[in-house]
Amino acid sequence: MATKKEETISLIGTFQEFKELKNIDRMTLVSVLEESFRSVISKMFGTDENYSVIVNPDKGDCEIQRSRIVVEDSELEDSNTQISLSEARLIDEDFEVGEEVSEQVEFAKFGRRAILNLRQTLASKILELEKDSLYNKYLDKVGTVIQAEVYQIWKKEILLLDEEGNELLLPKTEQIPSDFFRKGESVRAVVDHVDNVNNPKIILSRTSPVFLQRLFEQEVPEIADGLITIKKIARIPGERAKIAVESYDDRIDPVGACVGVKGSRIHGIVRELRNENIDVINYTSNIDLFIRRALSPAKVSELKLDTENRRAEVYLKQDQVSLAIGKSGLNIKLASMLSEYTIDVYRELSQDATEEDVYLDDFRGDLEDWVVDALHDAGFETAKAVLRADRSILTGTVDLEEEQVDEILDILAQEFSDEEEFRKFIKK
């Protein structure tokens, strides 16, 4: 009696474990439970065809009906599919040979082994089902921003939990360099991709351009409404980003709408991205104009395109070169990423200069290195700049002797011996 009670309790516990599983819809759960019961029954009796299994996940129980054919007592061969006439009439005295008897069977009566087999089968199927369900759930969420809580911090990644307790990973490579999180802290990130090799692995990202795009969609109603479209994004996470936007309504200024009054809309995004500088520019299909805009705040004087090799030669005035390149080369790098063109920057010669000039570094060998370095320190970059300079600057600022100045001017002027302006520097 004690054994039967224990078995019944074990069976009830089996249901209670699985009746409220996350990520699994009710119909699927019922199907799995029924399949598990049938699998155990089939293993025990060789067939489950004469069994009906009705699962009630709400109550955490099930009902098993077994159908058997009435046979003469002497002809009973299989007690699983047949029932003797005398036994049948104990149920109902009107039963005759050949009729079908349906009766409820207590699964616990099948024994402890059957219950253990059921638990193992259920656990295996449920685990597989949960994996598939989790994988499909987050596969549909790829590219969307979610919020999760930091659960564990490791050297190469962070483990987060969503509202349902599912495990998510934020690798170090997908974190903004200045990111710093504490256990229990809430983190926003975009679902980058989902792996399903053995177990579903949900990978989040805060460095993806998609994350920046989704933040803009949340902060700028015009983007969410489809009035403004984000055409291209280039990011160096934590440092700087450029985003090209376009409006289908002439009444809307896409750049102004994205930035907001006094930067109200973009400030929240900048804070979320750890003070990442964001440049918003107007998109155009005119690649010449687009590259010029991408290089802002620098003003381009001339631009030559090689569309076949996707290269662009950009000519700028001296004071615009550093703006075009940007701190640590970030501006030109982002402009190249945004335009998908390799951009080469050149200094534009002054209006009164001829087309040809030579950088001082090209004279190393003809001039001593210390002389070239001293001229650089004084602000000279090219030969013609030195030739046009006042001798007092060369003797005073650069600290050269008169004879040294003459020698230097002579060497530099030899490069331009065919130009009238510089013949005076050549000694006869």
Find out whether 414 and 426 touch, Cβ atoms under 8 Å.
yes
Distances (CA, A) of 245 to 253, 275, 278, 283: 10, 21, 13, 5
Pairing of strands 240-247, 228-236: antiparallel
Least confident of 338-347, 348-357, 370-379: 348-357
Q: Tens digit of pLDDT for each residue in 151-162?
A: 999 999 999 999
Q: Tens digit of pLDDT for each residue in 164-181?
A: 899 999 999 999 999 999
Distances (CA, A) of 123 to 15, 32, 36, 93, 180: 11, 10, 10, 43, 38
Pairing of strands 167-171, 61-71: unpaired
In the numeric block, which tokens belong to residue 279? 């440049």
Q: Tens digit of pLDDT for each residue in 184-229?
A: 999 999 999 999 888 899 999 999 999 999 999 999 999 999 999 9
pTM: 0.66
Topology (CATH level 3) of domain 2-136 = N Utilization Substance Protein A; Chain:P; domain 4 (3.30.1480)
Q: Tens digit of pLDDT for each residue in 66-99?
A: 888 888 888 888 888 888 888 888 888 888 888 8
- At 101, which helix (H) or strand (E)? strand 100-105
Least confident of 26-30, 141-145, 306-310, 316-320: 26-30
Evaluate whether the domain defined by 210-347 bears CATH number 3.40.309.10.
no
Q: What is the pLDDT of residue 246?
A: 95
Tell me which of 331 and 35 has the higher pLDDT: 331
**Residue 416 predicted with pLDDT over 80:** no
Smallest CA-to-CA distance from 374 within 406, 405, 332, 329 is with 405
How many CB atoms are closer than 10 A to CB 371?
19
- Model confidence at 103, pLDDT cuts 50, 70, 90, reads confident
Topology (CATH level 3) of domain 142-206 = OB fold (Dihydrolipoamide Acetyltransferase, E2P) (2.40.50)
Cα distance between residue 102 and residue 31, in whole Å:
22
Find out whether 415 and 359 touch, Cβ atoms under 8 Å.
no
Q: How many residues appear in the chain?
A: 428
